[in-house]
Amino acid sequence: MFVVIVHHKCMSTEDGSQRGDDGQKQKEAGRENTTDEYKPRHSTLTRRTFVGGLSVVGLGAGLSGFSGTAEAAGESVHFQYFHETWPTITSNLSKVADRGYDAIWIQAPQKSGLTWEDQSGRNDPPLGYQPVDFTTFDSEFGTEADLQALIDEAHNRGLEVYVDCVMNHMAVGYDYDFPRFSYDDFHHDVGSIDDWNDDHQVEHGELLGLPDLAQYESYSSDYVRGELMNYMEKIASFGADGYRYDAVKHVEEKYWRDYANPKADELGMKRIGEVFDGSVDYVQGYIDTGMDAFDYPLYYILKDVFSGGDMSRLQGAGVVAQDPWHARPFVQNHDEGAPSQYHLAHAFVLTSEGVPMIYNLYPNAILDDSEVNNMVWVKKNLAGGETYWRHTDGDLGVYERYNNLLVGINNGGSSRTQSVYTSWTNTTLKDYSGTGGDITTDGNGWVDITVPAEGWVFYAPY
């Protein structure tokens, strides 16, 4: 959606299970004890292990590996390509692919109530979020033929396409009179949402005055759900690869579990949900209906940490810490701005687990950003494996993607050198950020890592 509304639960930023800071444990025990006793391992059933186990039995996207097992490097990165017409996006897809991205997410294609002339600024408000007619995709972005050409060209370039899918509401200003819906197809028992802790209000209220479709509790709800299933089918008919579900928490959870996600499975479509909330457990509840979700709990912490905040808060933060298989981290999007330490935030998101969604108001600005492009390359070529935090304090965070990549991020004003434990012994590591020189681990896996002020390093074997 195009409004910043944060559920009260966002103050509850539950971290989920954490891996320990192995380096700190070893310092407490003494370096002479760096034996198998300190190699990564799990002895208890953590939330992460439980969710990963569900992946094994078919309830998740895939288990990435248990503790102590090295995984192949290389992970996906997606690009949020908004605020342009379909022909403009199509003409630039070769550049998106060349930068290493695997997929794009585009705005909702159906006929909608706002036009370019209604915007006061490039993203105020973004278009496509006030549907008028789900049966036609001739819109402000282009014709249906233009949309088909975009998706076809994306596939030619090896890019998947996620299409925004708005199923909670319709446009304002139509007095409930739409080509396919009328008064009885909407909820009328709440009006505006006043209590964001009241699930009934959140699910039945008129978000920003937008008429709220009655997926349930109306005699015509079967019809409403049928129209929405037809909408999903129409998106899929263009050959799109997945949906980005808009305003997920404003529709009953059972709708996603019983209708939308099974329909997506039937159509062979992936899906990412916008669950606008800061609680890990709240977002995980929607993931458990059968979707991925943007990691808003992580975003709220990133925004504070990378505005000169406490780096130690990153350890175990967000949905990604307990369910990286379904977490979609991000630094900013069309609803939320980036933290002031913009590149540091990207250095974290593009070396962490999960599939990040990278956004900029002006796509070529970020596509031509050499530092972000390098981070995308690192994610695509060096990142992999479970995360082990090797050191955290107020200014410095050092973590290892097990046996693949050692990352140091410093949001303080002075260069920092820290001795940390790693999974490598007697191994020379190269800094693929281009900032630091080679370092070599000792026979017990220890190494001194130097991270420049407000900078980052990405170490991996040659």
Q: 334: which residues sit within 8 A by CB, 6+ positions away?
A: 2, 80, 82, 83, 123, 126, 359
User: Average of pLDDT values for 270-288?
Assistant: 98
- For residue 422, being part of any structural domain is answered with no
CA dist 354 to 48, 62, 126, 282, Å? 13, 12, 26, 18
Confidence of residue 131 (pLDDT cuts 50, 70, 90): very high
Instruction: Say if residue 344's pLDDT is above 70.
Output: yes
- For residue 346, being part of any structural domain is answered with yes
Confidence of residue 18 (pLDDT cuts 50, 70, 90): very low
pLDDT for res 346 = 98
pLDDT for res 380 = 98
How many domains, in total, are found in the chain? Answer: 1
Instruction: Say if residue 30's pLDDT is above 70.
Output: no
Contact between residue 283 and residue 15 where contact means Cβ atoms under 8 Å apart: no
Q: What whole-number percentage of the chain has pLDDT above 70?
A: 85
What are 149-191's pLDDT values in tens digits? 999 999 999 999 999 999 999 999 999 999 999 999 999 999 9
| pTM reported for the whole predicted model | 0.88
pLDDT for res 69 = 62
- For residue 404, being part of any structural domain is answered with no
pLDDT for res 54 = 55
- For residue 350, being part of any structural domain is answered with yes
pLDDT for res 16 = 33
User: Average of pLDDT values for 207-228?
Assistant: 97
- For residue 114, being part of any structural domain is answered with yes
- For residue 451, being part of any structural domain is answered with no
Total Cβ atoms within 10 A of residue 319: 31
pLDDT for res 309 = 98
Confidence of residue 48 (pLDDT cuts 50, 70, 90): confident
Domain of residue 217, CATH code: 3.20.20.80
Task: Compute the mean pLDDT over every residue in the chain, rounded to the nearest whole number.
Answer: 89
274 burial via Cβ count (<10 Å: 0-12, 13-18, 19+)? buried
CA dist 422 to 34, 191, 350, 399, 405, Å? 10, 56, 20, 9, 10
User: Average of pLDDT values for 328-352?
Assistant: 98
Q: Which two tokens stand for residue 394?
A: 């107020």
- For residue 436, being part of any structural domain is answered with no
Q: Which domain holds residue 309?
A: 73-384
Q: At what angle do helices 342-349 and 296-305 cross, to 10 degrees?
A: 140
pLDDT for res 53 = 56
- For residue 52, being part of any structural domain is answered with no
End-to-end CA distance of the chain: 44
